[in-house]
Structure 1
Amino acid sequence: MKLLLIHSKNASMEKKGKATSKPQEYKKKTLELEGKVLVCFVSVEDQDTFDINIISNQAADEIKNSIELIETFPEKIEEQNKEITKFNKGLKAAQERGFRKNENPRAKKKLLLDPAQYKVDKILVYPWAHLSNFLSQEKTAQDVCPTISKLLKKEGYDAYYSPFGWYKAFNLNCLGHEVAEMYRDVPLALLSTEVRAKSVFKIVNPDKSIVDFCTSDEESKKNAKIPKKYSKDFKDFITSEVLSSREAGKQEPAHIKLMQKFEYADFDDATDAGNFRWYTKGVLIKNLIRDYVENKMVEMGAIYVDTPIMYTVKNKKLTAQTARFPAKTYWLHSGNNRYLLRFACDFLLFNMFSQMHIREEHLPIPVYEYETYAFRREQAGELAGLRRLRTFTMPDTHTLCRDIPQSVEEFKKQFLVSNQILNDLGLKSFMVIRTTEKFWEEHKDWILEIITSEGEPSLIELWPERYYYFILKYERPVLSAQGKTACLCTNQIDVESAQDFITQYGEKRMKYNINWHSKDNKTGHPVILHNSPSGAVERIIWGLLETSARYEKEKVTGIKTWLSPIQCRVMAISQKESDYAEEILYQLNKKNIRCDYDDRDEKIGKKIRTAETEWVPYTIIVGNKEVENKTVSVRKRLIGQPLVDGKTNDQINDISLKKLISLIEKDLKGLPRRALPIPFQRLSTRISFR
């Protein structure tokens, strides 16, 4: 919905003639309103008529907020002038003592009109098609303005409406003060009108003992104390997940300088904030992660699909889900229609499920989609480099299960797969389980087994009742250098989306109506697991860089060999060994091991230091001895291992190339390979983006 609000001295309206075949019934020919009138021009858009009561309530709230803004404006100016007077008094005192001599006093603000003019006596709600190109074509659109007027009257406002479907003349006299003209965009928001149910946080220890920590109430959080026995990492995790804000901090995240230094990714000032440009090495890492996760999903029994990245807002099944996140959406206009860019693959995937013939004997069915693009219009204060961005890549699996027992068994399997993925990526994470009190009591035994299986304390959040589509949600957050968490892999048990409808605010809301069919003609709605087995690809890279920065004084920094853009670097002590170095370069890349050659005219010490700062896992050094013996000397980086006395590498001298390849192959066993582009195989030809 679009709103244009004009604060007017008096207002009048006169019906002139029918504009539609069935105009809204309205007995009066004219309407004369005296006094200070807030005229609210309303355009009802395509998505709004999903539920006119909800959008009308939202519009009424916006109008009330606008009235408050108008009527309190003189008071706010007065408060600001008091602050200015206080500032000027302090400035004068400082200048008399010889300080701040170059600073000027601030001028007080003046109202454009007399304070008595900043009042609203009456409200006129007026249908106005010209604020949008995407108007609702449903008959119920004409009921929105009367409904808004009725809601405002119930709260004591003197409110009126102008009829829909008539040619009308009107007169306004805009008062012309600072807030006399306002525009509001009101997206349909299917959010609960009730405050989210108070949740309870508990800490589960490896021995299955449970510590009551706090509730979601702010006073409870303020008084919460994390037991001293826990590690600093776990305390930082609890602080970030439960006790602190999720907004980005003022300090620049550590990974930003690293992603720029290594030329993985960077900001782009020619696009929307939160959208990144990716360089060769960053794309290489992203592709390796894609290959790896996809292979794991195939091993798990998943099938592939690929759904469109945009969808219409005229489909009520999709609107019912989309409108729960109105602030997150990007709109796309095409001709006379508009679309939403998806912020998850669920929408058109579930639409596809609803059109499938799903056989009971085939369940569970894991369906994997590599979301090349997902879009979430995060608020500016929430953006934080690769941790929270507006366009991202998400490996996503949705599993159709016959019922809750089958979904639980599949959940356990996927839990193990996700843990293996995080381990192979080299990421330390924590565990959070969020569920309802009822589900917790019924399934406590197996949930505790999962939580305690790793021998680490974990966090549970319990809700008195389900407030969203899932009854249980599992998350694996990772800690940044600054102690901020971000979730990577997740899994949710969804008991709502497959239904034909749900009851919300006393109304039936259309869902996807997904069904399975048995051989004996029984049918049922599947339970759906929402499993991102690794988390967003960009956030994985965030985690790898932030983890290295967090533990740089405790552990050897770096990325596991299989994922490192440069796995080996060969360097010759002098030009005499260059032919041999070239041969090693050729042989390793022939084996699909990403190797480059530092062929710069630099001393060997500088070449080694460069490889060290670039976190190269294997540095291969060849001199006269190695040429004679047809061997190599290798510095193997101890990535992720404890940093003892500053030692970052193991030195392996005078081994055969075959043995070196065997060492590297152990690091790469069962993991995907991608070739290193030819320009990156020599430092002299390597492309620089910065």
Structure 2
Amino acid sequence: MTSEALKGESKITSYWKILSPDGTLSNIGDFDFTKYPKLEILAKYESAKKRAVDEPPPHVALMKKMGIADYEPASDSGNMRFFPNGRLIKSLIERYVTDRVKEYGGYEVETPIMYDSHHPSMVSYFNRFPARQYNIDSEGKKLFLRFAACFGQFLMANEYQMSYKNLPYRLYELTRYSFRREQSGELVGLRRLRAFTMPDCHAFCKDIEQSIKEIKVRFDLSRNVLKELGIVDSDYEMAIRFTEDFYNENKPSIEELVKKHGRPVLVEMWKEKFFYFVLKWEFNFVDSMGKASALSTDQIDVENGNRYGIEFVDEHNVRKHPIILHNSPSGAIERIVYVLLEKAAQDIKEGRKPQFPLWLAPTQVRVIPLKEEFSSICDTLVDKLSSFNIRVDIDDRNESIGKRIRDAEKDWIRYTLVIGEKEANSENLSIRDRQTGNVRELTFDNFINEINEQTKEKPFTGLNLPKYLSHRPQLMV
């Protein structure tokens, strides 16, 4: 059903350019990439459209070593299993992104993961646009697994009676999961999957003017979300894609987005519209192997309002189809974990200590009793720290103090507290700070404040493993 559309996609003619913050549009061959090596990698990667991987990227070994995720051999390729540490990290990211979208004004919904391929709007979509989907036969129906939340949200929006006064109206779903049958040679670790968790927010706008205003708000939202997840501006490059007509009609707005980014961006320009959108921007992480992966993205969709029969009544009581924006402020949640692990691998390579942002660390504080006689004091301390929403565990194993401290290092645990005679009789805490390598003395209250400062306005969940290390099974990786 999709083969003709896929063939059509392969024939699209793209013109690749570089757009600078001052509005200069250059051919790639004429642009000086000396100051922008990652942008040059992105430009070559996107224009070549080569997605296959030759060797595993560094994050694959780390995701296993840290007990985060692994391949599931009993499933289809590109479907991962997440261990307790990975599920904790993933769930916190999911909650954070969802909270931010709801603060922005998204209304959370839930829609089915499978749809009837013969539904009129689906037939129209698949005949027009390429998609690599999983197909299911069920009771005479030809179903497919969704590859985005679009279908469910559009069919839901079709049920609304909307006025221009309601717009922009924003529907949001965190899809666990979206499914896309990527080619097997492209699948690797957490970077490219066939089943992924995608925060998907659609804004229904009355016209292009309102949609451009809205896309600027969502652009800032996306940048801020990535920053708070530990991914800063210098970690990614921007690409923007548009039709030539849309660019000529909306140059100032497009240039404003590039100015917000603050440095040149890759442009893909189409002579004529092939997709349902006239503009799409995205932030791309470029890893150490020269592969680019899209994170945040937004699109201006000018077709699906009509395709799905979504209507609103304008100021003159005339029924119209809305312009639809498709935004994921973070991109796939699994891909965020991939980026954090790739950044950690780069830190290791360059001699820095890898670290998750403290609010995402599976264990934030580890307490180590010097001897068994200090166990009850450690239990009391752990309970007290836990009451302040801190994930803290106890290494009560019958191992040397040196090994237990080294293991805390290997687990990327930011704060380690060794409790011996001196510490048991002190009013202050003796804190081994992995980030600085120093041992500091802090009052209990000051220690709590230091942690709270790094985790404020972030979601929290308790440990997702037994409190005592002696109670934990060993993960064989």
The alignment's TM-score, normalised by the length of structure 1, stands at: 0.65
Conserved? CA contact 1:311–1:341, under 8 Å: yes
1:473 to 280, 283, 286: 280
Q: Say if 2:368 and 2:396, in contact at 8 Å, map to a contact too.
A: yes
- Percent identity for Structure 1 against Structure 2: 38
Distance in 1, Cα, partners of 2:260 & 2:434: 31
Answer yes or no: is the 8 Å Cα contact 1:482–1:550 preserved in 2: no
Q: 2:119 maps to what in 1?
A: 315
Q: How does 1:430-509 map to 2 (within 5 A)?
A: 430-499=237-306
Match of 1:512 in 2: 308
Equivalences, count: 472
- The aligned amino acid for 1:651 is N
Q: What is the CA–CA distance in structure 2 between the aligned matches of 1:226 and 1:328, rounded to whole Å?
A: 35
* Residue aligning to 1:658: 445
Amino acid aligned to 2:16? F
**In structure 2, the residue corresponding to 1:274 is in which secondary structure?**
coil
Give the match for residue 466 of structure 2.
Answer: 680
After superposition, the C-alpha distances for 1:168-198 in whole angstroms (9 at most, x for unaligned) are xxxxxxxxxxxxxxxxxx7563457586443
CA offsets per residue over residues 363-411 of structure 1, 9 Å max, x none?
Answer: 1011111111111111211211211111111111000011001001110
For residues 189-236 of structure 1, the C-alpha deviation after alignment (integer angstroms, 9 at most, x for no partner) is 3457586443222223455544320xxxxxxxxxx4873522443433
| Distance of 2:49 and 2:123 partners within structure 1 | 32
Task: Give the corresponding residue for 1:306.
Answer: 110
In structure 1, distance between residues paired with 2:380 and 2:8: 70
SS in structure 2 of the partner of residue 297 of structure 1: helix
Query: How far is 1:619 from its partner?
Result: 2.2
1:523 CA displacement: 2.0
Cα offsets for 1:403-447 (capped at 9, x unmatched): 001001110000001001110111222111111122222222232
Quickly say closer, same or farther: Cα 1:191–1:233, change in 2 above 3 A. Answer: closer
Distance 1:188 1:232, change over 3 A: closer
Tell whether 2:229 aligns with 1:425: yes
Superposed displacement of residue 625, structure 1: 2.3
From the superposition, tell whether residues 226 and 634 of structure 1 become closer, same or farther in structure 2 (CA, over 3 Å).
Answer: farther
Match of 1:594 among 388, 391, 394: 391
Partners of 2:394 and 2:468 within 8 A in 1? yes
Deviations 1:150-174 (A, max 9, x none): xxxxxxxxxxxxxxxxxxxxxxxxx
Cα pair distance change 1:687/1:401, threshold 3 Å: farther
Look up the match of 2:42: 237
User: Of 426, 430, 435, which aligns to 1:629?
Assistant: 426
Q: Corresponding residue for 2:62?
A: 258
1:92-491 correspondence to structure 2 within 5 Å: 189-190=4-5, 193=8, 196-213=11-28, 224=29, 227=32, 229-243=34-48, 245-247=50-52, 249-324=53-128, 328-427=132-231, 428-491=235-298
Q: Unaligned 5+ residue runs, structure 2? A: none
Cα distance in structure 2, aligned partners of 1:617 and 1:208: 44
Closer/same/farther in 2, CA of residues 480 and 195 from structure 1, 3 Å limit: closer
Distance (whole Å) between structure 2 residues aligned to residue 589 and residue 369 of structure 1: 32
User: What SS class does the counterpart of residue 171 from structure 2 fall into?
Assistant: strand
Q: 2:322 maps to which residue?
A: 526
**In the TM superposition, what is the alpha-carbon distance from 1:312 to its structure 2 partner?**
0.9
The answer as to 2:422 corresponding to 1:620 is no
Q: Secondary structure at the match of 2:432?
A: strand
Relative distance call for 1:579 and 1:466 in structure 2 (3 A) is same
Query: Counterpart of 1:482 in 2: which secondary structure?
Result: coil
Q: Matched residues in 2 for 1:651 and 1:411: separation?
A: 45
Would the alpha carbon gap of residues 228 and 451 (structure 1) be closer, same or farther in structure 2, given more than 3 Å must change?
closer
In structure 1, C-alpha distance between the alignment counterparts of 2:139 and 2:456, rounded to whole Å:
52
CA contact (8 A) 1:480 1:550 kept: no
What SS does structure 2 have at the residue aligned with 1:558? Answer: coil
Q: Quick one: distance in 2 between partners of 1:593 and 1:380?
A: 41
Q: Structure 1 residues 195, 343: closer, same or farther in 2, change over 3 A?
A: closer
1:654: Cα distance to partner?
1.6
Alpha-carbon separation, structure 2, partners of 1:486 and 1:538: 12
Deviation readout 1:332-381 (Å, 9 max, x if unpaired)? 22222231111111112212212211121111011111111111111211
Counterparts of 1:431 and 1:259, CA distance in 2: 26
- Shift, 1:582, TM fit: 1.9
Task: Output the aligned Cα RMSD.
Answer: 2.2
Paired letter, 1:588: L
1:360–1:517 contact (8 Å) kept in structure 2: yes
Residues 386, 392 of structure 2: 8 Å contact kept: yes
Conservation of the 8 A alpha-carbon contact between 1:633 and 1:651 = no
Q: Distance in 2 between matches of 1:373 and 1:324?
A: 24
Distance 2:258 2:437 in 1: 36
Q: CA deviation at 1:322?
A: 3.2
| Contact 2:59 2:341 survives alignment (8 Å) | yes
Is 1:609–2:421 an aligned residue pair? no
Task: Name the CA distance, whole Å, in 1 between partners of 2:190 and 2:127.
Answer: 26
SS at match of 2:470: coil
Q: Secondary structure at the match of 1:465?
A: coil
Offset at residue 326 of structure 1 (A): 6.1
Q: Do the aligned partners of residues 578 and 239 (structure 1) sit closer, same or farther apart at CA in structure 2, a change above 3 Å counting?
A: farther
Does structure 2 retain, via aligned residues, the 8 Å contact 1:197–1:464?
no
Contact 1:479 1:543 in 2 (8 A): no
C-alpha change, 1:580 and 1:195, in structure 2 (3 Å) is: closer
Question: SS state of the match for residue 474, structure 2?
Answer: coil
Query: Which whole-Å CA distance do the structure 2 matches of 1:565 and 1:653 have between them?
Result: 23
Distance 1:479 1:611, change over 3 A: farther
Aligned to 2:267, the other structure's residue is in SS state: strand
Q: Is the 8 Å Cα contact of residues 238 and 261 (structure 2) preserved in structure 1? A: no
TM-superposition CA deviations, 1:510-556 (whole Å, max 9, x none) = x1121112465222110000001111111111111112213433343
Cα distance in 2, alignment partners of residues 328 and 188 from structure 1: 9
Structure 2 CA distance for partners of 1:687 and 1:589, relative to 1, 3 Å: farther
Structure 1 residues 414 and 236, CA, compared in 2 at 3 Å: closer, same or farther?
same
Query: For residues 95 and 408 of structure 2, what CA distance do their matches in structure 1 show?
Result: 26
1:195 to 1:252, Cα distance in 2 relative to 1, 3 A: closer
Q: Residue type matched to 1:482 in 2?
A: M
Larger radius of gyration, structure 1 or 2?
1
